[in-house]
């Protein structure tokens, strides 16, 4: 919001996978009306938890939001930490065909260890890249090779729809001190639990939604659900949510430090006013030259 104000004609576009859900205002730390400060914000809280929103759909929505901003003479500022979403928008998406439902069911029925072992046999390159504990991605890769007859790498080499080569980009990666980040995560969750996160999950559970939906698997939802159903107490739910958040923040930190192009600037602290002003100047220049 501060960058958008400094730019003068900035609009904010959400690039966080959880903040799209209307039902996760608190647990996703979606900005409040006060925090938005009168700046137009797009793709926040516009999806119902009953829908399985994904990177491809978000990229379509983001392209439209960016095009509308440009048409109005505004500067779109993408914010958020879901690397897959940003990569899909800039680089495009792999045109993977629909997965055969029978194949998907068979893969999901496999024990976790068997799934990874099968992927080693059938798509060793992808198996070598994935963490065996990342059960969702391992299963997805096995589904792809079994359903399409081609490994995941084959489809990743055929990206389409990216806008990275059609826009002027002014990227910035924030990499604040890890200790500071962990402390902020823990404190934020204390505040979430005290300001409605439990009621938010209670409302979700009352809808009897499919537990495999992305919104139902968002950090904090399964942990608080265990508390609400009497499996653990509130303190344990908080500790488990804090641990899951720290693990996720660590993965995000590593991804953004290593995956984006080396020329993208990395900023090792919180944004101060001087840097915000410099970034705003760069963004305004990009609008003039883009």
- Over the stretch 18-60, which tens digit does the pLDDT of each residue have? 999 999 999 999 999 999 999 999 999 999 999 999 998 999 9
Q: Dihedrals φ, ψ of 260, to 5°?
A: -65, 165
Alpha helices in the chain (DSSP H): 2-7, 33-36, 55-71, 83-91, 101-108, 112-122, 124-129, 135-148, 152-156, 178-194, 197-206, 221-228, 234-258, 273-289
User: What is the DSSP pairing of strand 173-174 with strand 92-93?
Assistant: unpaired
* Number of residues that this document lists for the chain: 290
Convert the pLDDT of each residue in 107-160 to its tens digit: 999 998 999 999 999 999 999 999 898 888 899 999 999 999 999 999 877 777
pLDDT tens-digit map of 223-280: 999 999 999 999 999 999 999 999 999 999 998 998 899 999 888 876 666 667 766 7
pLDDT of residue 7: 75
Q: What pLDDT shows up at residue 97?
A: 85
- Residue-range domains of the chain with CATH: 2-94+161-289 (3.40.50.300), 101-158 (1.10.20.140)
- Cα-only R_g, the chain: 20
**What pLDDT does residue 160 have?**
74
**Positive or negative, the Cα torsion across 137, 143, 149, 155?**
negative
Comparing CA positions, the residue from 182, 187, 168 lying closest to residue 246 is 182
pLDDT in tens, 176-190: 899 999 999 999 999
Position 203 scores a pLDDT of 98
pLDDT at 3 over 90: no
> Which pLDDT belongs to residue 185?
94
């Amino acid at each position: 919001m501060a960058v958008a104000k400094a730019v003068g004609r900035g609009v904010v576009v959400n690039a966080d996978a959880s903040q799209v859900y209307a039902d996760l205002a608190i647990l996703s730390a979606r900005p409040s009306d006060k925090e938005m400060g009168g700046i137009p914000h797009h793709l926040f809280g516009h999806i119902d938890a009953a829908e399985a929103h994904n990177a491809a759909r978000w990229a379509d929505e983001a392209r439209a939001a960016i095009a509308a901003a440009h048409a109005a003479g505004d500067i779109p500022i993408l914010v958020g930490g879901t690397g897959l979403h940003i990569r899909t928008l800039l680089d495009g998406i792999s045109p993977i065909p629909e997965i055969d439902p029978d194949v998907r069911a068979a893969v999901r029925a496999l024990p976790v260890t068997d799934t990874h072992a099968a992927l080693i046999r059938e798509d060793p390159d992808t198996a070598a890249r994935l963490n065996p504990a990342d059960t969702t991605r391992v299963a997805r890769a096995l589904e792809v090779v079994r359903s399409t007859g081609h490994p995941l790498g084959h489809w990743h080499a055929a990206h389409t729809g990216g806008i990275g080569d059609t826009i002027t980009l002014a990227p910035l990666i924030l990499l604040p001190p890890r200790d500071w980040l962990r402390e902020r995560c823990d404190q934020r969750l204390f505040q979430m639990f005290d300001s409605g996160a439990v009621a938010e999950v209670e409302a979700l559970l009352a809808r009897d939604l499919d537990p495999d939906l992305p919104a139902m698997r968002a950090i904090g939802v399964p942990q608080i659900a265990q508390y609400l159903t009497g499996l653990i107490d509130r303190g344990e739910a908080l500790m488990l949510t804090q641990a899951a958040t720290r693990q996720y923040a660590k993965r995000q930190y590593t991804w953004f430090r290593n995956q984006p192009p080396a020329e993208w600037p990395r900023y090792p602290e919180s944004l101060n006013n001087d840097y915000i002003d410099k970034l705003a100047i760069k963004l305004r220049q990009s609008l003039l030259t883009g």
